[in-house]
Structure 1
Amino acid sequence: MSNMIVFGTQWGDEGKGKIVDILTEDAHMIVRYQGGNNAGHTLVTHGKTFILHLIPSGILHPDKICLIGNGVVLDPEVFCQEIDKLGASGISITPERLAISKKTHLIMPYHKALDQAREAAKSGQDKIGTTGRGIGPCYEDKMARIGIRAGDLQDLELVREKISKALVEKNSLLKTLYGQEPVDHQQVFEHIQGLAARLVPFLADVSEKIQQAAENGKSVLFEGAQGVQLDIDHGTYPFVTSSNTVTGNASAGAGYLYSMSRVIGVVKAYTTRVGQGPFPCEQDNEFGSHMQEKGAEFGSTTGRRRRCGWLDLVILREAVRLCGPTEIALTKLDVLSGLKTIRVCTGYKYQDRTILYPPQEENSMAGVTPVYEDLPGWDTDISSIKSWKDMPENAKNYVKAIEKHLNIRVSLISVGPDRDQTIRIS
């Protein structure tokens, strides 16, 4: 058995979906262990594009089993929409192929209403850049022990009771603090009741399914969402997501203590960020525009334009320290083609000293100055190259520089969005 975990090393949007899709060939089961539909994985297979928000990327492989773990927060409506879209594309989704943990918490309409009201009430630098999908408020209810779990859908009277209790506080906040219309209890219940019949057949003991796979010598691939710098504890707080994105959360979020043979950190060949928050290597100039336009850098969940900048080795060192990757999957290397010089950030100047890891005080990342190393670029279009030996020498040197600084080998290089535009390095 060879278990694997794939995680994002930066601020998300590294291309994890494509890497999971490729590695699924070597796995029996794919498990999503955190986050919600604030994440989006874009997959391109034989020229056809799929965007997934909740269902693990392995679902495109008809012989694989996909699981949604207890660490995920699930919007029932989005889940059903995703199933319908996949079905319309000829991909069959059945409870035999896809299961949801009964412990998975559900995003309710009042979570979204509260999320959006809070963000609208903020101004300027106080805005977090939330997607407004209700992710944070759902995790809040989970920690406050008043959340509704997927397993509760088997007892609709329990769901009705929980909705009623939750809305006492939620409506008070919406009306009194934010000046919004209250949420109607009956409307929420009828909305969830209409979706429950579709979700209940997919409910399962996900921990047991992973255990059975392990006992039968089957390989399991664990899939995270977002990136390390969006981790609620270790990211650029407060401009972070509401869950732990680091690999250590896979055990808690999937419900199984695992042993990993491969830990794959997905690194975009440059750096991007969506929404607010410090971004030391951001290039609001022709270089950033080159990356944005050539990389089609728009969020797959929100459609927002991604901020772009040079590769930041400081945050990558932090990802290595926190997540222990055994290898790197380097994505979007083709986007850098055509640049005469490519810069990489090797350290930060901070309070009159050079540091190699991010400072830990709140908003301290906004006060650092990048230290750059310049590398020669290449003009060759590499999007159709199939092997490492055919890569331009300067592209090879760029990859080797990353390996040298991080002391981690690059095992996969993506040179385009399609599944076939991938180079494996043995």
Structure 2
Amino acid sequence: MTTVFGDRDIIVVDLGFGDAGKGATVDWLCAPENGLQVAAVVRFNGGAQAAHNVVVDGRHHTFSQFGSGTFSGVPTVLSRHVLVEPIALAAEARTLTRLGVPNPLRLLHIDPRALLTTPIHVAANRAREDARGEGRHGSCGKGIGETAAYALDHPDAPRVRDCHHPAVLRAKLAAMADHCRRLVSPTVHRWPDVDDMVTMYGEFAAAVRISDDGDLAALADGGRLVFEGAQGVLLDEWRGFHPHTTWSTVEPSNARALSVECGHDSHVLGVTRTYTTRHGAGPMPTENRALGALLPELHNDTGNYQGTFRIGDLDEVLLRYAATVCGGVDSLAVTHLDAVTRAAAAGHPIRRAHRYPGVGHLLPLGPWRDLDHQQHLTDVLSGLTPGTVGLPTHPADVAAHLGSLVGAPVVLTSDGPGRAARRVREPAVA
């Protein structure tokens, strides 16, 4: 497997709307038996809304802010592009401790420039989404959009480094509370007292390593970095289909830049299922509820804010678009190959949409121009019911077809959630 990636860093990105299997892929890459010598897992986007499911030796954990290499003892770097939520981070550390990870917080390295997500952001986020009623955007309700939006208009938004400076943090939290109070009904959405938050965040700062600027480079001297993306490229804040997007750059440009800062080259590993999924609101032209009934989800369910988990036939148009948005991918990991045989055996095989009839000039959905264009594409996609044709019914043929579709070799496949279900295939030339 080392010949696939050479000595390059590996950037793991989801080529869909999320939930393609990034966490399990990162876990496999970090497993010591695979010999990839991973020095750290770097989170390069998103925040506490990430939900990456990993199953190892009877243990299951949904990784949120910790990197998915944690079961292998690989350190996590929360880069400057991540939104850090200390309360959720502490809860995740307690869960990992119960699962046998000794002192998980010792594995964390946090960039001081990262924005801080607080209960104020969470309350404002939920109030704003509640006010949308039937027109919800599909937020996870974790305060991510509110954190990013507030920082755009307020250069003094709270950051991780402020946790070391109680007076500075107190002033920033008080100003933010005043700003958000107009959105929030105190009888429905509440946040702790500002002084209580300052105390909590001071304890957080004492318990974790808040890194200096050279910390990532020092880790990179010890081996390759695995960059673990959150969400999916089709939800990217610029390239996704507005307004049903995340406030985060999901495509790999920020990860590539971080790798270059460390003096490394990088390899982009795209991850895709054999069918299309979407969690929450937004256009999904190939949605197929009959197929969804045949492919139950073990670890994804309906969220109070995010909405239902949706399943559809393979959308090849959007998959090609996602690969293009990434600037191309170097190789592909194909997950959920077992779904191909399961659906076929039930008499309802997965199908594929390889074009959208009647919208010619809008396809292949690019190049990106501006947010108004992306909003227009959302309107177009929302009104489409594309015709579908057959997808190969043998898993090996499906993997080969997907590799050909995006123009990248398939190097890893899986037909189940655990490490043992992963297979190395057709290694790319380094």
TM-score by length of 1: 0.87
Gaps of 5+ in 1: 378-393
Structure 2: distance between partners of 1:101 and 1:149? 9
The equivalent position to 1:298 in structure 2, one of 290, 300, 315, is 300
Query: Deviations along 1:161-186, whole A, 9 cap, x unmatched?
Result: 111111221113336xxx867867x7
1:344 aligns with 2:352: yes
Q: CA deviation at 1:232?
A: 0.6
The equivalent position to 1:3 in structure 2, one of 4, 9, 31, is 9
Aligned partner letter, 1:266:
V
Gaps of 5+ in 2: 1-6, 367-372
State how 1:292-371 maps to structure 2 within 5 Å: 293=296, 295-296=297-298, 298-299=300-301, 305-323=308-326, 324-340=328-344, 341-351=349-359, 355-357=363-365, 360=374, 361=376, 362-371=378-387
Structure 2: distance between partners of 1:114 and 1:354? 36
**Does the residue aligned with 2:20 lie in a helix, a strand or coil?**
coil
Query: Deviations along 1:383-418, whole A, 9 cap, x unmatched?
Result: xxxxxxxxxxx2222222212222211111111011
Partner residue in 2 for 1:267: 272
**Seq. identity, %:** 27
Cα distance, 1:20–1:129 mapped onto 2, change above 3 Å: same
Q: CA deviation at 1:319?
A: 1.7
The equivalent position to 1:140 in structure 2, one of 131, 140, 149, is 149
The equivalent position to 1:235 in structure 2, one of 237, 240, 257, is 240
1:173 aligns with 2:183: yes
Structure 2: distance between partners of 1:255 and 1:410? 25
Cα distance, 1:164–1:320 mapped onto 2, change above 3 Å: same
Structure 2: distance between partners of 1:3 and 1:127? 38
Partner residue in 1 for 2:388: 372
Report if aligned partners of 1:95, 1:202 keep a CA contact under 8 Å in 2. Answer: yes
State how 1:343-422 maps to structure 2 within 5 Å: 343-351=351-359, 355-357=363-365, 360=374, 361=376, 362-377=378-393, 394-422=394-422
Structure 1: distance between partners of 2:230 and 2:174? 31
Report if aligned partners of 1:348, 1:354 keep a CA contact under 8 Å in 2. Answer: no
Structure 2: distance between partners of 1:300 and 1:38? 14
**Does the residue aligned with 1:60 lie in a helix, a strand or coil?**
helix
Structure 1: distance between partners of 2:381 and 2:182? 36
TM-score by length of 2: 0.86
Which has the higher mean CA deviation after the structures are superposed, 85-94 or 129-138?
A: 85-94
Structure 1: distance between partners of 2:42 and 2:418? 22
Report if aligned partners of 1:41, 1:300 keep a CA contact under 8 Å in 2. Answer: no
**Does the residue aligned with 2:298 lie in a helix, a strand or coil?**
coil
Q: CA deviation at 1:190?
A: 0.6
Report if aligned partners of 1:333, 1:414 keep a CA contact under 8 Å in 2. Answer: yes
Cα distance, 1:357–1:419 mapped onto 2, change above 3 Å: same
Which has the higher mean CA deviation after the structures are superposed, 131-140 or 96-105?
A: 96-105
Structure 2: distance between partners of 1:91 and 1:182? 34
1:115 aligns with 2:125: yes
1:188 aligns with 2:194: yes
Cα distance, 1:155–1:353 mapped onto 2, change above 3 Å: closer
Structure 2: distance between partners of 1:220 and 1:300? 33
Cα distance, 1:370–1:150 mapped onto 2, change above 3 Å: same
Report if aligned partners of 2:285, 2:384 keep a CA contact under 8 Å in 1. Answer: yes
Q: CA deviation at 1:262?
A: 2.0
State how 1:95-110 maps to structure 2 within 5 Å: 96-110=106-120
Structure 2: distance between partners of 1:254 and 1:167? 36
Q: CA deviation at 1:23?
A: 0.9
Partner residue in 2 for 1:150: 160
Q: CA deviation at 1:354?
A: 8.3
Report if aligned partners of 1:38, 1:301 keep a CA contact under 8 Å in 2. Answer: no
The equivalent position to 2:66 in structure 1, one of 55, 68, 85, is 55
Structure 1: distance between partners of 2:263 and 2:358? 38
How big is the alpha-carbon RMSD for the aligned residues of Structure 1 and Structure 2? 2.5
Q: CA deviation at 1:191?
A: 3.1
**Does the residue aligned with 1:225 lie in a helix, a strand or coil?**
coil
**Does the residue aligned with 2:157 lie in a helix, a strand or coil?**
coil
Query: Deviations along 1:179-214, whole A, 9 cap, x unmatched?
Result: 867867x71331341242133342333641221234
Report if aligned partners of 1:251, 1:258 keep a CA contact under 8 Å in 2. Answer: no
Which has the higher mean CA deviation after the structures are superposed, 68-77 or 247-256?
A: 247-256
Structure 2: distance between partners of 1:258 and 1:374? 45
Partner residue in 2 for 1:128: 137
